[in-house]
A and B are shown apart, each in its own frame.
Chain A
């Protein structure tokens, strides 16, 4: 306990006592007969600051974990994509070898107006959060024909129910969906002739798998950028709190 006596002009003594153990400060004014204590207020302030720090730390830890998880997922998915693409290129090369180089190249691609059969659905519904990026979902072989638009909805419905039931398939006309998929795949393959090598079909499936992986990578990339931004925000906060 540190005590400091202070005498004012009129001779009245005030005592300032400082207790280092609990950092309390007492000020005794003998003239007015008053005693002030700063210990309680300071303790309350300290408790408040420590509570905030704990919450901040938890949030920072969570963001750091999410960031590292996302980076790990990203690297694993890239590895998977590389392997799938390599298989696709090999199968394409085999198809070119069996069908001939003139039958498997981009000069056969038509520049007639046609819309993509495989698109990405962008979901902007982020629960009102400004910082959350949209989620991407792949929609494979959605026909542009109005007659077949019901198959597109089925594909989306099937995907949603699959997500909910953790991989179990619905029984909503899977045969029709499969037939539609084969029909759409056949339309694209017909660019390369009426009879195509099985390797070309296999290559088509490999690149479809690669597309699934790519959409996952896109979503993980969003997660990395979000958590990266959050961690940078945390870096700014501690400098402000130390200044206070």
Chain B
């Protein structure tokens, strides 16, 4: 099929969840291929030879890698509905800046808080809480990060939502207690079908975090 869209993804991936949300927001049908990135299938290697990672979005046979790049691609190709990025260049730059912050700064402690132990874990928790605070401050009293409209940056952060429970459990903190505005924002996002359908159940992720902890030697 000429317009065929395929998504190579792995069920626990916060990055894959972003892409699924974006495709759903735009009403794009696609074929989902469960792809364990620990097993380098020929298709994964062919479509992402450089990183061999998921998610990989394949559109008309051509691969697009890296979730934030996929989000921009989806927004540009299916530009007729639900614009994900603001049209104003400055607002767009701000959205990109914060999405970049999430992946460059937030990502590392977000997994270290459940994936490590001892001093490393303590340091990760401290850093994670600082970044949550920064993100809550940036949200402020807005309905969404995009303002009145759910968009790119909301998707970028909500991709991590399924992992929040694991972060809280091993980090021994409560997002609801520490970050009430962020919590209200997550509830608003969870009213969207695109978000709910894209997310993996938090308990399943928590179970998986236990498995990975053992694998990483943190248990």
Do A and B belong to a common assembly? no
A residues sitting closer than 8 Å to B (CB atoms) are none
